[in-house]
Structures are given as structure tokens and as C-alpha cells.
Amino acid sequence: MKRTLSPIEKTARAFVPGHITGFFRIFDGHPDPLCNGSKGAGFSISAGTCTTVRISEPIDPMISVFYNGKPIDAIVTRTVVRRLMESHAQTLHVEVTHQSDLPIGVGFGASGAGALGTALALSSLIDPDSDYIFPAQQAHIAEVVNHAGLGDVIAQTIGGVEIRTREGAPGIGTIQNVDYGMDQTVVLAGRTGLETKSILTDPNSRQQINRCGDSILSELTESPSFEELIHASRTFANEIGLMTPRIRTALGALQSAGFDLSSMVMLGDSVFCFCDAEHVPDVKDILVHYWDSQEILVTTIAQCGGVLRE
């Protein structure tokens, strides 16, 4: 269907890496969503989302969102757009196009990447003088109020391997970066099956996550390292009781083959495994017994967070 746009149309683009959470602790009781979030640890990945935002004057004011060429409801992206328009007293026709390596709903940070990319691109169009923090905070709020995530966005502003030492949005929460080998290769495998919203709102899951998260975070911050972060993630996954049979069996197979820098992705029916580049085929040969080949993604750690692109 042909779009009806005014002659004045502006476009901006942003790229945001995906993000994998290894373990976390929920903080969502504050009345201000900027102060809610999670403590925990994880890493950003080079596979990510390139978001293009087009705006025009409102001949037909509406928000449309596309993900890899298909229209989607995208409540988090729409929340970002509405909040930014309201904050600047703007009414616009907004078209958001996400071109992404990240499948939706498997724990690879697709929602956070889309939210942050939309916020950065749209903010650059309606308020070119805005700093980085304000749009990033709107992305964080959109994730929190829709129960789509708690800590992805702040991690995706930084990149690398991180320990989230204080909950909250960018500018409020705090992050400690962890050194890692620049040639780290990570193999991901995932599919839908564990819904973030249902787990974040389930009292029993929340209690177990928070109990384990507090203990593991305290131990990791005493001697933080890349290897200890991965092992802490595995301990967390073993203790919180959310592993599917597929995850449990696959992780057992990886460990038996010597690939012990692996764990469950929070939150998804998904796993990650770090290995040397030459061992990627071996890891994929194991994972293809549990996930389809198109559900397996090979990537690296993203050294930088989300950025605007020309």
C-alpha cells in the first residue's frame, strides 16, 4: 500500500548490538521506571539491529514498524516513539524499520536493540541537540513498563562484557566492564519458549531469581573475570529451575566435549558457548542436535554500544 507522506521527510539510522544476560537480579518496585532494572552480568554481541526511522509531518499521523521486512506490533518500539513525541510535543508520521540478525523472543536482546536504535535515531531527528542519555532512558523505560527486559538497554549503550552493579536506566544504573579476549567467538542457539514477561511477573520465579542473583553477584564482584562470569552464569542457570530439557541436555553435551564456557541465555530456550574460532564447527555439530541450523548464530563480543550511523 502506498504511503501518504508530506513532501518533507527525514531519515536517521542507528545500530545497536544484541545482548546476552548470563544472570540477573530483579529490581522493579520503584515508582519511577528509570530507577527500576536489574543487577547482573552479560555481554553484548556484534550481531545486532540496524534501525531506520523516517518521519514526516502528519498528513496521516501513525506509527508503523517493520522487522526484517514484515510488519509487527512492536509494543516496545511504539512506546519509545510515543514517549519521545510526547516529550517534544510532536505529532508525526513515524516509520520504523528494523533490519536485524537477532530473532525475536529468544533472549538475544532484540527488543532492547530495537528500542535503543529507535530512540537514538528518532531523537536525532526531532531534537538534534539531545544528548545520548535521554533517548537511551526512554528505551529503558519502554522495556521496563512492557515487562520486556530490565538490563539489556544499559548494557547495549556500553558494549563489551559487563557486570551491572546498580540497577536503573542509563545515567542512573552503573556498569563495571570486564576484560575479555578480543578474539572471543560465541555460538548462540535459541528459539522461543520462555516468555520474559511471564517469568518477570511470576512470584515463584522472581523469588528464586533474586535469591540466586544476590548470592552470585556478591561472589563475582569480589573477583571479577570473564571466565568467572561465565561460570557464575552456569551456576545461576542450574539453580533457578528454568532450564528446558533441551537446554539441560545441550549444555551437558557441550561440557562433555570440553566446551565449558557455556550456559543458558536469560531468558530464552537458548544457550551460548564461547570457543576458539577453529572449534566453531564442533560446537555447531553438537547444537544442531537440539536446534535447527537456522536457529544457530555465530558472532563475537561487540566492543562498542549503540551508535547513530550515517
Strand, helix or coil at 78?
Answer: helix
pLDDT of residue 50: 98
Cβ–Cβ under 8 Å, residues 84 and 93? no
Are residues 252 and 152 part of one domain? no
Q: Residue 217 burial (CB < 10 Å; 0-12/13-18/19+)?
A: buried
Residue 4 covered by a domain: no
Collect all residues with Cβ–Cβ distance below 8 Å to 100 and sequence separation of at least 6. 48, 49, 50, 67, 68, 110, 113, 114
pLDDT of residue 7: 53
CA distance 214 to 290: 31
CA distance 150 to 199: 12
Are residues 263 and 144 part of one domain? no
pLDDT of residue 59: 66
CA pseudo-torsion sign 74, 165, 29, 135:
negative
Residue 133 covered by a domain: yes
CA pseudo-torsion sign 264, 270, 276, 278:
positive
Domain C-terminal end among 147, 178, 209: 178
Are residues 295 and 206 part of one domain? yes
For the whole model, what pTM was predicted?
0.94
pLDDT of residue 196: 83
Are residues 26 and 124 part of one domain? yes
Domain C-terminal end among 148, 178, 208: 178
Q: What are phi and psi of 281, to 5 degrees?
A: -60, -35
Q: What is the CATH number of the domain that holds 33?
A: 3.30.230.10
CA distance 61 to 74: 17
Domain that holds residue 81: 9-178
Residue 3 covered by a domain: no
Are residues 167 and 51 part of one domain? yes
Instruction: Please identify which residue in the block is written with the cell numbers 564461547.
Output: 274
Are residues 189 and 174 part of one domain? no
pLDDT of residue 30: 96
Q: Which of 212, 199, 218, 215 is nearest to 240 (CA)?
A: 212
Residue 308 covered by a domain: no
Q: What is the mean pLDDT of each run of 10 residues along the chain (310 residues)?
A: 57 98 96 98 98 86 94 97 95 96 97 98 95 98 96 98 98 96 92 85 92 95 94 96 96 98 96 97 98 98 95
How many structural domains is the chain composed of? 2
Strand, helix or coil at 101?
Answer: coil
Are residues 155 and 25 part of one domain? yes
Q: What is the CATH number of the domain that holds 231?
A: 3.30.70.890
pLDDT of residue 1: 39
Are residues 148 and 270 part of one domain? no
CA distance 7 to 53: 16
Domain C-terminal end among 125, 144, 178: 178
Are residues 133 and 88 part of one domain? yes
